[in-house]
Amino acid sequence: MYLCSGITLPCLLAGLLCMQCALAAAEPPPDPLASVQWPHMAKVLLSGHPIVFDERVRILAPKAAENVRQVPVMVDADAIDGVRRILVFADLNPLPKIIEFEPHDGARAVLGFRFKVQQSTPIHAAVLASDGVWHVGGVWLEAAGGGCTLPSLASGEEAWVAHLGEISAGLWSRPDGERLRFRVIHPMDTGLAPGIPVFHITQIHVLDEAGRELGVIRPYEPVAENPLFSLDLAVTGALRLQGRDNNGNRFAARVAPR
């Protein structure tokens, strides 16, 4: 029997075999959209948990972007139990991460938003559930491009400073709760336009009237200027919104039922 620093050769070979098995198990499943960036995106953004493609993760988006600055998307993962986190990314954007959403008690796993797209790209939504698995869905978006590197419209005006962080919002009754829609005045600059630094909202907390957190939205640079968000809630009554951007500006609003 051969020894190497006190370790037997059979044990060493067994250890190497286990490592190979672990590496194989860590390989992400093939992307139904055949995205060339998918293996990299899975490794960088979804490491640490198993990954499965799941038809219950639905992404509603246009087949082609009419406005590369404002592409509407709705992610619905409400059919999956115990959703803890939703991460949406565009594989071929220069800044792939678009938005994250953490639904807590009282919020459904549904989020609507708009984003900027640079070129035709797959869009993936990854949903981390209580089973410890990333459940992934995807769609392909055709786009002429340029949305991420264009300056915001607000960057050419001075008046927007006086309205930075202003929120307009509404609540609509639904059979199983309420739908919240709100817009925040903010340029959401990506930092990719010449001479314009990155400037974007980093977090928005949705709370009920008693201060109980219902969910957290974390927008990234590609989220559209003056972002508009939609959430489905399993509760009713007035809400409070609290947020901030990467420059430390804070904003807040109370939303009363109609």
The verdict on residue 110 lying in a domain is yes
Per-residue b or e along 52-79, where b marks 16 or more CB atoms closer than 10 Å to that residue's CB = ebbeebbbebeeebeebbbbbbebbbbe
Mean pLDDT of the chain: 91
The verdict on residue 1 lying in a domain is no
DSSP H helices, 27-87, are 38-45
The verdict on residue 237 lying in a domain is yes
Domain total of the chain: 1
DSSP assignment, residue 189? B
The verdict on residue 230 lying in a domain is yes
* Enclosing domain of residue 154: 8-255
CATH code, domain carrying 104: 2.60.40.2470
Pick out the chain residues at pLDDT < 50: 1-5, 7, 9-24
Please state, in angstroms and as integers, the Cα–Cα distance from residue 202 to each residue in 27, 158, 169, 195, following that order. Answer: 31, 22, 19, 21
pLDDT in tens, 157-194: 777 889 999 999 999 998 889 999 999 999 999 999 99
The verdict on residue 208 lying in a domain is yes
The verdict on residue 143 lying in a domain is yes
Residue 8's pLDDT is: 57
The verdict on residue 177 lying in a domain is yes
Residue 157's pLDDT is: 78
The verdict on residue 3 lying in a domain is no
